[in-house]
Structures are given as C-alpha cells and as structure tokens.
Structure 1
Amino acid sequence: MSGQQFWKRWAALCVGGLMVLNAATVLAAPVELSLDDSIALALKNNQSIKTAMADKENARWSLSAAKAGKGLTADITHTAKRFKSQATSTEPSFVNNNFDNSLVLTVPLYTGGNLEGKIEYAQLGLTYADLGLESTMQQVKLDTTTDYFTVLQDRNLLKVNQDSVVDLTQHLKNVQAQYDVGTVAKSDLLSSQVQLANAQQDLTKAQNNYDLAVANLNNVTGLPLNTEIKLKEDLKYEKYTQSLDDCIRQALANRPEVKQTDVAVAQSQANVKIAKAGRAPNVNLQGSEDWNDQSFPGVENNNWTVAVIAKWTIFDSNSTGSQIKQADASLDKAQHTAQQTKDSVQLEVRQAYLSMREAEKRIQTSSVTVNQAQEDYKINEVRYSSGVGTNLDVIDAQLALTQAKTNYIQALYDYNTSKAQLEKAMGVPAK
C-alpha cells in the first residue's frame, strides 16, 4: 500500500468515526421536559386512556343499536320443500315441490316504554363512558405530576448528598492535616472517616432513587425507560388562595366520579321503566308479501298482507314483577352509592387540602432552619480549625445541615404533590 493510499484511508476512518461519534452524541442528548410537556406526553401515550377511549366507542355503538330498535326491520325467508300427498278415494298419491319466498316488514308502534328506556339507558351509558375517560385522564395527569415532582425531589436530594460528601471530604482533609502534626487525636480522624463513608453510602442510595424516579417518569410518559431527561423546572412554592369550602363545592360540581354516580342512578331509573314495560302491550305494524311456486325459485304466485299486531302478556308467573323488584333494588343501591361517593370525595378534598396547608407551614419553618444550619456549620468548621471546637461539633452541624436541607425539599415536594392531589380531588380538567 502506498503512503498516499494509507493517509486517504486513515482520513476516511477519522471522518467516519467523527460522524458516528456525533450521531451517538445527538442520540444521547437528554430530552428536556416541562411539567406540561410530561402531562401532554402521558395523555397521548397512556394505555389506560386508550382503554377508556375504547369503552366510550363501545358505548357509542350501543346507543346506535338501541336507537335502531325503533326503526324498520325487514326479513326475507326462502323455503324449499318437497312433499308427498296421501292417496284418497278419488285422488292418487303424488310427490310435489314447493318453493316459497316471503318479505316481512315490521315497525314497532308501541312497546310500553321498553325501547325508549333502552335508548335512554344507552345514552346515559355514553355519558358515563365519557366521564370515565375524563376521570382516567385526570388520574394520569396526577400520576405524571407526582412522578415529575419525585424526579425533582430526588434530584435535589442527590445534590444535598453530593454537597455532604464534598463537605465531609474537605473536613477529613483538615482533620488529617491536624492529625499529621499531632494536634488532634486519632479518634477524630477515625470518626471523620466513618462519617464520610456513611455519606458516600447515602449518596449511592440517592443516585439510585433518582435513576428509579427518572425511569418511572419515562414509563408514565411513554418514553423508553433508559431515556435521559432534563427537567426544565424545579420545586417551588406558589401560594394557593382557594378556601376549603370552595374546593369542596367545586369537587361536588365537577368531579367525574360524582357525575358518574348520578348517571348510574338515572340508568337504574331507566331500568325500572324497562322492567315495567313488561306489563304493557306491544303493538307492531307489519306488512308482508309472499311468492310461491312449484318450480324454483318460486316467484309466480303473489300474496300480500298488512296487519296491526297487538300482544299483551296477561300472565308470566310473576316474572315481570320480579324484574321490577330487582330494578327497584338496583336503583336503591345506586342512590346509596351516589351519596357514599359524594362523602368520599369531600373527605378526599379535605385530606389533600389540609396536607397542603401543613406542608406550607413546614416550608416556612424549614427554609429558616436551612439558613441557621448553614451558619452553624461554618462557625463550627472555623472553631475546629482554630482548635477551639470539637470534631463532634462539626459532624453534628454537618448532619443537621443535611437534615435541614432534606426537610425543606420534602416540604416543597409534599406541598406540590398535595396541591396536585387536591386538583384531582376537585375534578380540575386534565387539559
């Protein structure tokens, strides 16, 4: 191989390698997500929502089928028959064929409310399915919001543990330096080493918690589980101004589950109407036309009829009465369930609201504690370096600082997730 060919191949390999590296870099670029972005992805990709949409489509076709019951039905019947007549004193026996075609048209005129009840029930079923879809979307929004805030919480806790390791590493260097010149006891060195090792273990756990939180958020948004994400927001405090009574009123007015129980009561009432229709007569308008012949296909002879057919069941061994009692019992159950659901919703709103207010108070106190703990840690570090303070004072101050930061992050997380739970409990639309 000539030198020129060698350098050409080498240049080609370098260019190719750079292109592959660049492509890998692009593919590995983290996905930036805001909370709204995450919710939009979840609402688009979540399988529970797709299942609820299928339920709604099913209910729509059930309504279409119920409405079709009031329309015209047409039945075509063809009969091919071969028969033998018995001989008589005047006629010999013979074998013959008969081909018959009939068309029957039927329109229901009166069903005692049966068809109307079925249409009403199916219409309510569509409303119920639509509310179920909204309820599912609201739950997915809550799950996504909680997972988003969990990533933010674990990201902040990871930073707290990283800072703790940095502080303890620096402190250990200080202790090592003083131990080397004989100004501190070996117990100070050992306790500092143990404390750093513990902090490193906590950092490992914090990293694992963050990785799991990212995987959970990827899962709920429909992204590959190993997708690296970068969140655009951070945990923050925004004051909530609505009163508890306002929240409860809004929940009772807007919560899909509350509306669903009202729909269920109406469906039960429709079922009572359907059951009672069994005691009423049925009246149908029927028209028919018949063609028959001894030769296939049997279209020679023609007859037609128009009739109004009324049918009234006067005795059915109390079957209709039992169905009415069953429908009444189902209505009673639906009414109790509706009230129970409303009570549960009020309790859910109250729990979320009070938890949010409790977390709000912790935010205020813990934010002050963080500043105090930072100042205390700096003072004890200086005191120890000057030979006035003890190693235990420094370690205790560092632990108190880490705990204060953790409490503050936890309070912010609890506040934001409780507010998200409150919005879900109030039935705030998913989009």
Structure 2
Amino acid sequence: MSAFLVVATLLTATPITLEETRQLGRKNTQALQAALDVAVAQEDQRVARSGLLPQVQLNLGPSLDYVGRRRQVFTVPISETETVTREVVATSNTADSYFASLGLSQVIYNRGLWKQLEQAGVNVDAVRNQAIEESDTSELEAIRRFFNLFLSQASLDVLKATAQRSEEQLERARALFTAGRVGKSEEIAARVNLGNDRINVVQRQNQLVADQVQLAVWLARPGTELLQAVDPGVLQQEPAPAPALDDAIKQAREHRALLKALQQRVQVAELQRAIVQGDYIPRVGLSARYSHNSQAPGPFFSEPGYGNIFNGGITLTWDLFNGFNTDAQSARAQVNIRKAELTFAQTARELEAEVRRSHQVLEGQIASAKLATDNRAVAQQGLALAEERFRAGAGSTLDVRDAQLKLTQAELVLLQSRIDVEIARYALFRAMGTLNPGDSQ
C-alpha cells in the first residue's frame, strides 16, 4: 500500500530538468537581490555624472513684505546753518513684488568630480562581478538540491526493488516450507525482512518530501509544490575525467568573478585617493543668472524691458589651507588601498586552494564511483548464488538476506558516488569561474 502511495505521489509531481534548475537557481531571491545592487550602483553612477552636467535653476513667484509700526527720525534743514529733527511713528504697511530668475552653472574643471565619475563606473563593474559570484553560488546550491532530490528518487527505486525481492523470497520460503524442505522459521524470517524493507521505503519517502521542499523553496516556488527531478542521464554513462589541475587554476585566475570584483575594489580605493587629492588643485566653474522684478503684476508682464538684471562670471576656487584635512583624508585612502590589496592577495590564494581541493574531491569521487560499480557487480553475483543455494536447500533465508542487504547497500553507495561525482564536478566549475562561461566574458 505504501509503495502505491509513493508511485501516486511521483505521478502527480511536476517534472523539472537539471537545465531548468540551473536557470531558475540563477534567479532565486539571493541572486535577484544581487542584481538589484547592480541597479543601485548604476544609479549612483548617474548621480556622479550629474555634477559634471549643467545645473539650471528657475525661481518664479510673488513675495509679500510686512513692515510693522516703527519710529523714524528725520532731520530737515531749515536754513544753511539750522536743522530741525522730528521723530515720526510710522504705521504698519505691506508691500508686494513679483520676480523671476533663471540661473545656470557649469563646472569647467574639477578633478575630484571627474574621478568620482570614474570611481562610480569601476564600482558598477565590481558590483556586477559580485552579482555574478552570487548567481554562481545560487546556481550551485540549486544543482546540489536537484541531485539530492534525484538521489532520493533513485534510492527509493532501489529500496522498492529490495522489498520486491523480499516478497519473492517470502513466497519461496513458504513454498519450500509447504514442501517440507525448510522449517517454519525460514518463512518467519522472510516475513520480518519484508516488513523491514517496507519500513525503509516509507522512511525514504519522508526524505523525498524534504528534498522536494528544499529544492522548491530555493527556486522561489511554492513550498507545497511537488517536484520530480528528471533523470539527467549521469547513471547511464562513465564519469568524465577531471581537467588538469594547472589548467583549472589558470581558468580560475582568468574567469573567477570574485577575483575581478576584488581587483576593481582596489581600483575604487585608488580612485578615492585621487578624489581626495583633487582638493590640492584649483576648481574652475562658470555661472550666469538672469532675473526680472516688478512691484506689481501688471508691469511684470506688460513691461518686460524693465527690472531686468543679468550677471555672470567665472570662479576659481582653491583651498589653500583646510587644517590638513586633505592630508588626513589622503593618508586614510592610502591605508584603504593597502587593505584592498591585502584582501585581493589573500582571496586569490584561497581561491587557488579551493580549486585544488575541489579538483582532488572530484578525482576521489570518480575513483569511488568506479569501485562502487565493481562492488555492485560482485553483490549481484553473490545474491544470485545465495538464491540458487536456497532453492537447492543448501542455504538459508539468512544467507539470502545477507546477500540482499549487500546488494542494496552496494546500489545505494553507487548512487551516492555517482551523484557526488556530478556535484563535485559542478563545484569545481564554480571554483574555476566557468559554471556559466557566458557571464565570465
């Protein structure tokens, strides 16, 4: 009954291929967040460019002035030698006016702004390479979860085949007991073995559901969706050999996105120093402004030839002394350059070590897979011999059971080994930066 439920579950599941998994893995939540970081960096580049473009401001509107009561002293001459001083209390009053102005400013030379724009461009490239690194990480995790699901499916088939063999062994034990060739204990032992095999099937079904959930969630699909990993065909072919280690390390140096991003972080730090040191150099700017004013709305529109003011000029600004602030900022930038260089050098060493480790893991898994293939062949021969001896009355259910367990274990180990080979191969590609060759160009 449980085996029937397993089959029904797989029949209602949505099939998904390895290629679909890889594509969706590069679009999961983490990868999309990294892509949004690229969009933010691109907008920062636009902000840096805006300081070098013309700046135009338009001001337009009426204004109202209110003057309260006040004392005013007037001196009035009454002759050539005499004056009269009078103090007058003026009442409050209001006065309105209308104005419009148009201003234009343009940077002619500002080394700091140009370096800021260059820095923003390098930062976009660094963030883009970091996004590629995140996408590779997400894709590799999706591949791993896909193969885990496929392993559960294939293991479930092995366990169901073991249970089927146990059913056949139980029927043989019953027939031999009826014929008086074996004791009742052989039938009882065969029945217990069958029960244990069915329990293993049910427990593997639980693992299958867990693997379905993990893959679905990572691919940003509903956690309730049933997925079925389509056979990628790796079990029907011999594993390809690992690439040469020297070539793998060379590929990593040329294509690993993280190395490119860290190189660009060094450039960003160097440009930050250039931005700070731009304060040592004079800055030149151009400004122009036109304004039109009037005390009443009528003349403001009807007499455009009156109340006009135009001014413009070129300004040179040079910070001759700012309390050694520029020196301090420059020294700080130099320290950040050194830190970025150290981070790059250490990461380069770690990536080479990662490539070597991944390469060794792949070679080891390939060797293990070959040994597992030989073990399965021997276990198949052992089971065939044990069953033949049992039919002939020379063996026991215990002998057959032992051979069955050895074959089941050999088949499960072979499955795990072949899956581990594929995961190790993709892990090596990821370490080399060639998991998605199109992104590394």
TM-score by length of 2: 0.83
Secondary structure in 2 matching 1:317: coil
Aligned letter for 2:198? Answer: Q
- Deviation track 1:295-318 (CA, whole Å, cap 9, x = no partner) reads 358663122222111222233333
Separation in 1 of the partners of 2:362 and 2:187? 44
Give the superposition deviation at 1:223.
4.5
Is contact 2:119-2:272 (8 Å) kept? yes
* Partner in structure 2 of residue 89 of structure 1: 75
* Partner in structure 2 of residue 259 of structure 1: 260
Query: Does the C-alpha gap of structure 1 residues 37 and 97 become closer, same or farther in structure 2, counting only changes over 3 Å?
Result: closer
Give the superposition deviation at 1:199.
1.8
1:390-429 equivalence runs, <5 A = 390-429=396-435
Query: Does the C-alpha gap of structure 1 residues 232 and 163 become closer, same or farther in structure 2, counting only changes over 3 Å?
Result: closer
Secondary structure in 2 matching 1:89: strand
* Partner in structure 1 of residue 49 of structure 2: 67
* Partner in structure 2 of residue 117 of structure 1: 115
Separation in 1 of the partners of 2:385 and 2:43? 74
Secondary structure in 1 matching 2:234: coil
- Deviation track 1:46-81 (CA, whole Å, cap 9, x = no partner) reads 233332332222222211221121111122345735
Separation in 1 of the partners of 2:327 and 2:183? 94
1:203-282 equivalence runs, <5 A = 203-224=201-222, 225-229=224-228, 231-236=230-235, 237-282=238-283
Secondary structure in 2 matching 1:104: strand
The correspondence for 1:334, drawn from 340, 357, 370, is 340
Separation in 2 of the partners of 1:106 and 1:226? 59
* Partner in structure 2 of residue 3 of structure 1: none
Is contact 1:152-1:235 (8 Å) kept? no
Query: Does the C-alpha gap of structure 1 residues 135 and 230 become closer, same or farther in structure 2, counting only changes over 3 Å?
Result: closer
Is contact 1:153-1:235 (8 Å) kept? no
Separation in 1 of the partners of 2:400 and 2:275? 79
Give the superposition deviation at 1:99.
4.5
* Partner in structure 2 of residue 106 of structure 1: 105
Aligned letter for 2:164? Answer: V
1:24-423 equivalence runs, <5 A = 31-43=14-26, 45-77=27-59, 80=63, 82=65, 86-90=72-76, 97-111=96-110, 113-180=111-178, 183-224=181-222, 225-229=224-228, 231-236=230-235, 237-296=238-297, 300-423=306-429
Give the superposition deviation at 1:241.
5.0
Give the superposition deviation at 1:388.
1.5
The number of residue pairs the alignment matches comes to: 403
Query: Does the C-alpha gap of structure 1 residues 245 and 164 become closer, same or farther in structure 2, counting only changes over 3 Å?
Result: same
- Which segment drifts farther, 270-279 or 313-322? 313-322
Give the superposition deviation at 1:413.
0.6
Separation in 2 of the partners of 1:230 and 1:358? 26
* Partner in structure 1 of residue 80 of structure 2: none
Is contact 1:35-1:148 (8 Å) kept? yes
Secondary structure in 2 matching 1:284: strand
- Deviation track 1:148-184 (CA, whole Å, cap 9, x = no partner) reads 2222222211111111111122222323344455544
Separation in 1 of the partners of 2:123 and 2:247? 30
Give the superposition deviation at 1:219.
3.4
Query: Does the C-alpha gap of structure 1 residues 288 and 63 become closer, same or farther in structure 2, counting only changes over 3 Å?
Result: same
Is contact 1:149-1:235 (8 Å) kept? no
Structure of larger gyration radius = 2
Aligned letter for 2:293? Answer: N
TM-score by length of 1: 0.84
Secondary structure in 1 matching 2:75: coil
- Deviation track 1:341-398 (CA, whole Å, cap 9, x = no partner) reads 2122112211211111101111111111111111111111111222222332222111
Query: Structure 1 stretches of 5 or more lacking a match?
Result: 1-24
Query: Does the C-alpha gap of structure 1 residues 65 and 429 become closer, same or farther in structure 2, counting only changes over 3 Å?
Result: farther
Separation in 1 of the partners of 2:150 and 2:200? 18
Query: Does the C-alpha gap of structure 1 residues 414 and 310 become closer, same or farther in structure 2, counting only changes over 3 Å?
Result: same
Of all paired residues, the percent bearing the same amino acid is 21
Is contact 2:18-2:229 (8 Å) kept? no
Query: Does the C-alpha gap of structure 1 residues 426 and 416 become closer, same or farther in structure 2, counting only changes over 3 Å?
Result: same
- Deviation track 1:119-142 (CA, whole Å, cap 9, x = no partner) reads 011101211222133223322322
Separation in 1 of the partners of 2:108 and 2:73? 47
Give the superposition deviation at 1:261.
0.4
Separation in 2 of the partners of 1:143 and 1:230? 15
Separation in 2 of the partners of 1:88 and 1:129? 72
Separation in 2 of the partners of 1:227 and 1:200? 22
Aligned letter for 1:72? Answer: P
Secondary structure in 2 matching 1:388: coil
- Deviation track 1:185-218 (CA, whole Å, cap 9, x = no partner) reads 4544444333322222211122222233233333
Separation in 1 of the partners of 2:73 and 2:53? 48
Query: Does the C-alpha gap of structure 1 residues 293 and 83 become closer, same or farther in structure 2, counting only changes over 3 Å?
Result: farther
Separation in 2 of the partners of 1:406 and 1:232? 16
Give the superposition deviation at 1:245.
1.1
- Which segment drifts farther, 80-89 or 403-412? 80-89
Give the superposition deviation at 1:82.
2.3
Is contact 1:32-1:232 (8 Å) kept? no
Query: Structure 2 stretches of 5 or more lacking a match?
Result: 1-7, 77-85
Give the superposition deviation at 1:100.
4.5
